[in-house]
């Protein structure tokens, strides 16, 4: 999603015309503090939105041994073995299913007349009949302004953090992802360093695996933010999973797979032709959710 920097911020300004649809009861996942914060920057909640998709994640696209790659001068060096493989097919599916769930939440936002979704929570869990369920849940909001975004924005930020972002001169442009999957064959150089007789020393093969997968995820997150027209990213958090499996090529050995998933909100500066002179009042709000 691309925002014009000189177009102003939706919801900021007097004389707005956009209001939630009259006569309809709306729901939200907002606390009372979040509701007040969002109204304070010119937005109204119009309803809770949900997007979901169930996928069978089974095909990795990997054949043979994932390969005993190495690192030189901080750069990944391809394995010399012909049994080189890639998890590109699996990573592509992991992006696609998250974006599909999010797009369905955005479609509900549009149907409600919303201009964006705040407080988006992405959840991944097993589906009882098989596969994985990906869910995007948030609250659709609408601006009380004639200046409106061309496309609904999405953001993981809470109501208070969204309001602080707006007061600071920034606007969310979209929820972004960074997903990476790397594998390392557990060769003899690594195996000898994890024996109880090896003493206290760094297992550099494992360090390289984690560093590379995190670096790749951060790189993909930055690329996704650029596609959304963002100047930067506010990161929600990172998930890191490490699994071990039997090597499909070399018997009685194992491969380690590391998966890193970064989620954040891409943000961009917005321009306003008139800015109030003098210091602005400071609003102090609790950050913790109601219990």
- What is the domain partition of the chain in residue ranges? 32-269
Instruction: Answer for the pair 207, 244: CB distance below 8 angstroms, yes or no.
Output: no
**Cβ of 19: how many Cβ atoms within 10 Å?**
11
Radius of gyration of the chain (CA): 23
What is the model's pLDDT at position 56? 84
What is the model's pLDDT at position 26? 65
Each residue's pLDDT tens digit in the chain (291 positions)? Answer: 334 333 444 444 433 333 444 456 666 677 888 888 988 988 989 999 999 999 887 655 555 555 544 445 555 554 544 333 467 788 888 899 999 999 999 999 999 999 999 999 999 888 888 888 999 999 999 998 777 778 899 999 999 999 999 989 999 999 999 999 888 777 656 665 566 555 676 777 788 888 989 999 999 999 999 999 999 999 988 899 988 777 666 666 777 888 999 999 999 987 643 444 445 554 444 455 544
Torsion, CA 145, CA 151, CA 156, CA 159, rounded to 10: 10
What is the model's pLDDT at position 205? 76
Q: Which tokens in the block code for residue 76? A: 């990944």
Q: Which tokens in the block code for residue 115? A: 């201009």
Superfamily designation of domain 32-269? Hypothetical protein apc22750. Chain B (3.30.110.70)
What is the model's pLDDT at position 126? 87
What is the model's pLDDT at position 66? 54
**Cβ of 218: how many Cβ atoms within 10 Å?**
17
Please choose, from the candidates 86, 89, 91, 94, the residue with its C-alpha nearest in 3D space to the C-alpha of residue 65: 86
Q: Residues with Cβ < 8 Å from 142, sequence gap 6 or more?
A: 18, 19, 20, 43, 44, 45, 46, 112, 113, 114, 115
What is the model's pLDDT at position 103? 95
∠ CA 100-166-279, rounded to 5°: 175
């Amino acid at each position: 999603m691309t925002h014009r920097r000189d177009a102003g911020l939706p919801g900021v300004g007097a004389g707005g015309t956009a209001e939630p649809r009259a006569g309809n009861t709306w729901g939200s996942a907002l606390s009372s503090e979040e509701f007040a914060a969002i109204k304070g920057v010119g937005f109204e909640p119009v309803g809770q939105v949900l997007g979901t998709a169930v996928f069978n994640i089974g095909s990795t696209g990997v054949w043979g041994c994932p390969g005993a790659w190495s690192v030189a001068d901080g750069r990944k060096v391809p394995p010399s073995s012909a049994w080189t493989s890639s998890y590109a097919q699996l990573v592509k599916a992991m992006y696609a299913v998250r974006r599909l769930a999010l797009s369905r939440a955005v479609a509900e936002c549009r149907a409600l007349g919303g201009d964006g979704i705040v407080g988006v929570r992405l959840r991944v869990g097993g589906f009882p009949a098989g596969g994985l369920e990906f869910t995007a849940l948030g609250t659709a909001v609408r601006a009380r302004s004639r200046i409106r975004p061309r496309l609904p924005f999405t953001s993981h930020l809470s109501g208070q953090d969204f309001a602080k972002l707006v007061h600071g001169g920034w606007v969310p442009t979209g929820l972004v992802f960074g997903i990476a999957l790397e594998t390392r064959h557990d060769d003899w150089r690594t195996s000898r360093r994890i024996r109880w007789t090896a003493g206290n020393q760094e297992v550099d093969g494992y360090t390289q695996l984690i560093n590379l997968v995190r670096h790749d995820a951060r790189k993909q997150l930055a690329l996704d933010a650029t596609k959304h027209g963002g100047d930067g990213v506010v990161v929600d958090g990172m998930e890191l999973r490490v699994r071990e499996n039997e090597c499909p090529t070399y018997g009685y050995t194992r491969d380690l797979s590391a998966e890193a998933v970064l989620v954040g909100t891409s943000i961009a500066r917005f321009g306003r032709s008139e800015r109030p002179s003098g210091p602005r009042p400071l609003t102090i709000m609790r950050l913790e959710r109601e219990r």
